[in-house]
Amino acid sequence: MKKYFDWNRFIRLARFDYEQRKWFYWGHIPLIFALVSLVHLVSWNVLQSDLGKLSGDGFAPVFFLGFIIATLMISGSSFSEFYKKEASQNYLMIPSSSLEKYLLKILVGVLPVVLLYPIVYNLAVDFSVWATIQFQKYAFGKLVEVGTDPKVVELSIQLKSTITTPWWSQMTIFATWLFLPVYLFLSGLLFPKRNRIYAFLTLLALWFVIATFMGLISSIVQVPLPFLISPFILTVEEISISDVFPPSISGPMLVGMIFFWLSIPTMLLLSYFKLKEKEV
C-alpha cells in the first residue's frame, strides 16, 4: 500500500508544492475577491440609475462569470509544471507516487474552486454592500435600501431548494458544478501548452458533435430538435423507467443528466492515467 500512498510522503510533497507555488495559491483569492467586488460596486454606484437602492439584477450571471474566471485561473493552471520540458522533468522526478501527485493536484486545483469560490464570492458581495452604503451615504447623502438579506439577492437561497429536490436533480447540479473545473484539470494534462485555448476548442467541437448527433436522431424519429424548436416528445415514461424518473423529464434532459453524471468520474480517471503515463 505504501508503494502507492504514504501519508508522510504525501505531506512532504504538499509542503514542497506549497513552497514552490504559495504566491500562486494566495494571490488568486484576493484577486477574485477584488474582481467580484469591483463588478458589484460599478454596477450599484455607476451603472445603476436608481441610486439608493441595491438591485439584485444580474447577481447570478456575475456569480457564474466569476466561477468561470476562477476555474480558468486555478483549475486551468493545475499542471503548470508541464508548460516547459525542464520543469516537467523536475516535477516527475519528485519522490512520490502518481496517486499522491494526483490527489494533491485535485486538492489544490479543483476543490478550491468548488468549495472556496462561493465563500469568497459571498464575502465580496458583503463588502460591496457595505462599501456602497458608505459611499452613497457620504457622497450623495442617500440611505441605501437593502433587503432583509444582507446580500440583497442571496444566491444560496435559490440553491437551498435543491436540498428537497429529487436525488437525480441534486446529482445533476453537483455534476454540473464540478464539470468545468474537472475538465480544465484534465486539459492541463492533455494539452500541456495553451491548455485553456485547446480546452475551449475541444468543448466547442464536442458541442458540435452532440448537436449533429441530436440532429440525426431528430430526423430519424421525426421529432424537432429540443434546443431549437420544442421539447423532445420522447419522455421517460415512454422508455419504461417512470418509476425512477418523473414523466416530465424529456429525452434530451435525461441524456444530458446521464452525460454529466458519467463525465466527472470518466475525466477524473483519464486525468490519473494520463499523469501516470507521463511518469513512465
Per-residue cell: 97: 507516487
Identify the pLDDT of residue 236.
Answer: 39
Question: What phi, psi does 53 have (nearest 5°)?
Answer: -145, 125
Identify the pLDDT of residue 241.
Answer: 42
- Give every CB contact of residue 23 below 8 A, 6+ residues apart in sequence: none
Identify the pLDDT of residue 270.
Answer: 92
Identify the pLDDT of residue 208.
Answer: 80
Domain boundaries, the chain: 1-160, 165-280
Distance between CA atoms of residues 265 and 254, nearest Å: 18
Identify the pLDDT of residue 220.
Answer: 62
Contact 225, 215 (CB under 8 A): yes
Identify the pLDDT of residue 237.
Answer: 41
**pLDDT tens per residue, range 133-188:** 888 777 777 766 665 444 444 554 554 454 455 666 667 777 778 888 999 888 88
Per-residue cell: 33: 475577491
Distance between CA atoms of residues 263 and 227, nearest Å: 21
Closest CA to 128 of 63, 212, 216: 63
DSSP string, 141-193: -PPPB--SSTTSS-HHHHHHGGGGS-HHHHHHHHHHHHHHHHHHHHHHHH-SS
User: What is the mean pLDDT of each successive set of 10 residues along the chain, which is 280 residues long?
Assistant: 80 87 84 88 72 62 85 86 79 84 90 88 85 79 60 48 57 79 88 81 81 66 46 39 49 68 89 83
Closest CA to 5 of 76, 81, 73, 104: 104
Identify the pLDDT of residue 150.
Answer: 42
